[in-house]
Amino acid sequence: MERRNKDRRDFSYYMRVMNENTGELVGHMADISLGGFRLESQKPISKNTEYPLRIELSSDISDKPFIVFIASSKWCQPHFIDTSLYNVGFQIVNMNSEDRKSFDKIYDLYGSQKSENNISKADYLWK
């Protein structure tokens, strides 16, 4: 099994991911790894494009209200159950060390381990 698959976790918290430049909602986190994440989005996202993103933080993660980073969209496809949504895989490209600590804490607190038997079509981060 590839490392990115082994380390990916389902996301158990409703967390919005916003475009830092426009303030527009990009999507909600659906799974997370230390190198990236999958969003459920209401709109298709251009592949192989870098985006400035912001995740608003809860007080159990940090005293800061949000983290900002650059992530590259790696793939986008219609959700396999709800075709009004899109699954979008992002890889983190640039994140400062303080925000990285907060992202790692998000992974630890809200990411739940996938079982070997709980595998779906969307069980990957990068194609």
pLDDT tens profile 66-108:
999 999 999 999 988 898 999 999 999 999 999 999 999 998 8
In the chain, what are the domains?
A: 3-113 (2.40.10.220)
How far apart CA 121 and CA 127 sit, in angstroms, is 12
Task: Tell me the CA distances in angstroms from 107 to 49, 55, 58, 85, one per residue in order.
Answer: 23, 13, 13, 23
The pLDDT mean for the chain works out to 84
Poorest-pLDDT segment among 13-17, 22-26, 123-127: 123-127
Sorted by sequence, the CB contacts under 8 Å of residue 121 that are 6+ apart come out as 80
CA–CA separation, 121 and 123 (whole Å) = 5
Residue 120 is predicted with a pLDDT of 45
Amino acid at 18: M
